[in-house]
A = this chain, B = another copy of it.
Amino acid sequence: MTHSITFLPHNRTVDAEPNQSLIRTAMEAGVHINASCGGTGVCGKCRILVETGQVEGGISEHLSEADREKGYRLACVARIASDCVIRVPMESQMDAGRLNARVTGRHMAKAVYSNVDELREDGLFIPPVEKIYLELDPAVEGDNQADVTRIINYLRLKHDEHRLTMNLDLIRKIPNLIREGDFKVTATIVRPVRKDGKNEIVNIEPNNTSERNFGIAVDVGTTTVYGMVIDLHTGAVPAQQGDFNSQISYGEDVISRIIFAEKGEGLATLQSKVVGTINTIIKKILKKAGVSKKEVTTITLAGNSTMTQLLLNINPTYIRKDPYVPASILYPPFHAKEIGIELAEHSIALIYPGVSSYVGGDIIAGIMAAGMYRSEELTLYMDIGTNAEIVIGHKDWMVCTAASAGPAFEGGGVKFGMRAIKGAIEDVSINPETFEPMIVTVDDEKAKGICGSGLITLAARLLDTGIIDSRGKFNRSLETQRIRQTEDIWEYVLVYEKEAGIDRDITITEPDLDNLIRAKGAMYSAALTLLDEIGLGVQDIEKIILAGGFGSYVDLESAITIGLLPEIDPGRVIYLGNGSLLGCKINTLTNAFRRDVANVVNMMTNFELASTPSYMDHYMSALFLPHTELNYFPKVKKRLELLHR
């Protein structure tokens, strides 16, 4: 249940969850309220008047007794308890006229989910591993066929199952198992990718266990690993969980991990570390879901090419060395135990195939989850991070590339940059008159730094308000103490020490902005280069899919404003969320997509930017906010003209 919150005098209404802070709600509505302390009631600037409805909290020493009685509260510590009408007083709000120049409020996430009912309707709800209950006739005189033959014949005659195989380990167990269940058993069958391939029986259990069939999906990210349990009988997800990839202590990015893997036992160490993380997650989600290990018949994993090779204990050296060769694209199904995953012996692991050293299985998984490979619309798929992967195409063709954006989007190379954890500034508004900021932090803690999505929004607002120019340089002539020069470096103070969660002022510097511009320039020019190579332009893109943890949080309007993303109708942008995890989920639900995966990988043409001459030109042109060629961004151009008139 959500509440409807209306802000006056803007007369803008948004829905908000109960208990959400008013300042976060205002940010979502595109309503500026001065607030620089990160929502902890310290600065006392965010006074608002509750005209109707109920809020909880919001009372502070910064408010007089009289104000409190009138209904004034501090927006940052007031929490929504009902539908409300909130008036933002003159001193707390920004200039309304200018405000309206903003495109919209926050562009809300429009995630695509793999819908089980839809799959079922289309006859595609065919998990890659199925369970079938068999009521066999017991062996008697006159019918003494071999135990395995009895099982295979039953499946052939009663279930029209053909091309069945079984490995030696399982055959060994059959004579006892089949009699333990008095010839009533449940068979676990792994489906082939090709319809005419072999169906492998991987387990036989006494009695009927066919209703208990679970899969696990795992996104193996360089930084984080996410897992979910999927009920293969209903399609439900009873549990999911994320954790940091414990390889992190051996290097933050894939290159440093590869270098570590090249030394001594490095590869084995990294392999056991990531499997350790996966096992920890599996343990937690199985416990939460009330599922036992032996009930998990399949696990699908996706990661970038380096993560995949490290997980599978494959030397990744040649991924980082010119000409950047991965060991393999496709990997065969195998028993999860083989790589140390703590599941039952019969649990089959499926690995998402990649395309190249820098466009890996996580991207293919995302493309499968987003249904891009079935769409007729020309789509730009972007997974933004340290390494940004870009795919352009539709159901008939696809091209892809990867750009090294540098760590700016993940908080690296930025003075107060940090990951999107507690206290990270994730959203910013700046009063264009006073240049005072309004900030929102993760978990509403005192601000400690700026995360990637906050950085993008901050840069966009600095540009909107004329605090910086298109080269990312501060306007030295503005009358505000927040812009200052320290040790020859120009910066803008977001949060003063006394209101911060750290013992320094939190600022953004010109070098920070320079790094951000390089990062967004690399991304944008990679997309432009790809389009160029196939003879298309940015105007031809009909849909953008943003994937990855970062992609889910980035503010679309801000990203367009700084030229990270092409200018496009927000209705045409889809936030996929963790596409890699979703792709693993859908792979666990339907084998039909596994067949498509091979086709997608085959149709994909990979471009190495280093070998594509036009890339450097595109990159140089993209080192402006939003771009040298403003015609690529007509709306941004128009707005900036309006704002800076």
Task: Give me the interface of A with B, judged by CB distance under 8 Å.
Answer: 139-149, 165-168, 171-172, 174-176, 179, 196-198, 312-315, 317-318, 322-332, 334, 338-339, 356-357, 608, 610-611
Given contacts A171-B312, A314-B175, contact A148 B611 (CB under 8 A): no
- The smallest C-beta distance from A612 to any residue of chain B, in angstroms, reads 10
Question: In the assembled complex, how far is the CB of residue A82 from the closest CB belonging to chain B, in whole angstroms?
Answer: 58
A574–B175 alpha-carbon span in the complex (Å) = 38
Q: How far is the CA of A602 from the CA of B71 in the complex (A)?
A: 88
Q: A315-B176, A317-B175, A325-B147 are in contact. Are A142 and B331 (CB under 8 A)?
A: no
Contact (Cβ within 8 A) A167 B332: yes
The answer to whether A148 and B315 touch across the interface, beta carbons within 8 angstroms, is: no
Do A329 and B149 touch (CB < 8 A)? yes
CB <8 Å contact, A327 and B146: yes
Residues of B within 8 A of A322 (CB): 141
Which residues of B sit under 8 angstroms from A610, Cβ to Cβ? 141
B144-A608 in contact (CB<8A): yes
B328 and A146 form a contact (CB under 8 A)? yes
Closest-CB distance, A345 to chain B (whole angstroms):
14
Determine how close the nearest CB of chain B comes to the CB of A40; give it in whole angstroms: 51
Question: Which are the 7 A-B pairs with shortest beta-carbon distances?
Answer: A148-B328, A144-B323, A146-B326, A141-B323, A146-B329, A139-B325, A175-B327
**A141: chain B residues within 8 A (beta carbon):** 322-323, 608, 610-611
Most chain B CB neighbours (cut-off 10 Å) among A142, A167, A168: A168
Task: Knowing A171-B314, A175-B314, A198-B197, say if A140 contacts B327 (CB, 8 Å).
Answer: no
Distance in angstroms between the alpha carbons of A169 and B60 in the assembled complex: 65
Query: Closest residue to A139 on the B side, CB-wise?
Result: B325
- A328 vs B176: C-alpha distance when bound (angstroms): 13
A176 contacts across to B, CB distance below 8 A: 315
Closest B residue to A169 by beta carbon equals B338
Partner pick for A147 among B327, B331, B332, CB 8 A cutoff: B327
Residue from the list B174, B196, B328, B356 in contact with A196, Cβ < 8 A? B196
* Oligomeric state, in copies: 2
Cβ 8 A contact of A142, one of B312, B318, B611: B611
Q: How far is the CA of A357 from the CA of B175 in the complex (A)?
A: 13
Closest CB in chain B relative to A432 CB, distance in Å: 49
**Would B140 and A323 count as touching, CB distance under 8 A?**
yes
Q: Which of A139, A338, A610: most chain B Cβ within 10 A?
A: A139
Look across to chain B and name the residue whose beta carbon is closest to the beta carbon of A326. B146
24 A–B contacts from the bound complex (CB under 8 Å): A141-B608, A141-B610, A142-B608, A144-B323, A144-B608, A145-B325, A146-B328, A146-B356, A147-B318, A147-B325, A147-B327, A148-B327, A167-B334, A168-B331, A168-B334, A168-B339, A171-B328, A172-B313, A172-B314, A172-B315, A174-B327, A175-B317, A175-B325, A179-B318
Expressed in whole angstroms, the Cα–Cα distance for A334 and B167 within the complex equals 8
Most buried by B among A141, A147, A325: A325
Residues on B with C-beta less than 8 A from A197 are: 198
Shortest C-beta distance, A94 to chain B (Å), equals 52
Closest to A355 in B: B146
> What residue of chain B has the Cβ atom nearest to residue A338's Cβ?
B168
Distance A139 CA – B328 CA, assembled complex (angstroms)? 13
A146 and B323 form a contact (CB under 8 A)? no
Residues of A contacting B: mostly: loop
Are A328 and B144 in contact (CB-based, < 8 A)? Answer: no
**Across the interface, which residues of B come within 8 angstroms of A146, CB to CB?**
325-329, 356
Q: A140-B323, A197-B198 are in contact. List 17 more A-B contacts (CB 8 A).
A: A139-B318, A141-B323, A141-B608, A141-B610, A142-B323, A144-B357, A148-B328, A166-B328, A166-B332, A167-B332, A167-B334, A168-B334, A171-B314, A171-B327, A172-B313, A175-B314, A198-B198
Asked if residues B144 and A325 are in contact (CB atoms below 8 Å), the reply is yes
User: Closest residue to A608 on the B side, CB-wise?
Assistant: B144
User: Quick one: which of B168, B323, B329, B608 contacts A148, CB cutoff 8 A?
Assistant: B329
- Among A140, A144, A174, A356, residue most surrounded by chain B Cβ atoms (within 10 Å): A144
Q: With the chains together, A533 CA to B214 CA distance in Å?
A: 51
Q: Which of A146, A149, A318, A330 has the most CB of B within 10 A?
A: A146
CB distance from A110 to the nearest CB of B (A): 35
Q: Which residues of B contact A611 (CB under 8 A)?
A: 141-142
Inter-chain contacts of A196 with B (CB < 8 A):
196
How far is it, in angstroms, between the C-alpha of A356 and the C-alpha of B145 when the chains are bound? Answer: 7
Tell me the minimal C-beta distance from A315 to chain B in angstroms: 5
- A608 CA to B143 CA in the complex, in Å? 10
Provide the residues of chain B in CB contact with A144, threshold 8 Å.
323-325, 356-357, 608
Residues of B within 8 A of A168 (CB): 312, 331-332, 334, 338-339
Name the B residues within 8 Å of A338 (CB-CB): 168
A328 touches B198 (CB 8 A): no
Give chain B nearest CB distance to A340 CB in angstroms. Answer: 12
Residue of A142, A167, A171 ringed by the most chain B CB atoms within 10 A: A171
CB atoms of B165 and A332 under 8 A apart:
yes
The answer to whether A318 touches B608 (Cβ under 8 A) is no
* A312:B172 contact, CB within 8 angstroms: yes
Query: Roughly how many angstroms separate A142 CA and B356 CA in the complex, as a whole number?
Result: 12
Least distance between A640 CB and chain B CB atoms (Å): 40
Q: Please, which residue of chain B has its CB at the minimum distance from the CB of A197?
A: B198
Closest chain B residue, CB of each to CB of A150? B325
Contacts of A608 in B (CB 8 A): 141-142, 144
The closest CB in chain B to the CB of A601 belongs to B149
Which B-chain residue is minimally distant from A322 (CB atoms)?
B141
Q: Is the CB of A315 within 8 A of B175?
A: yes
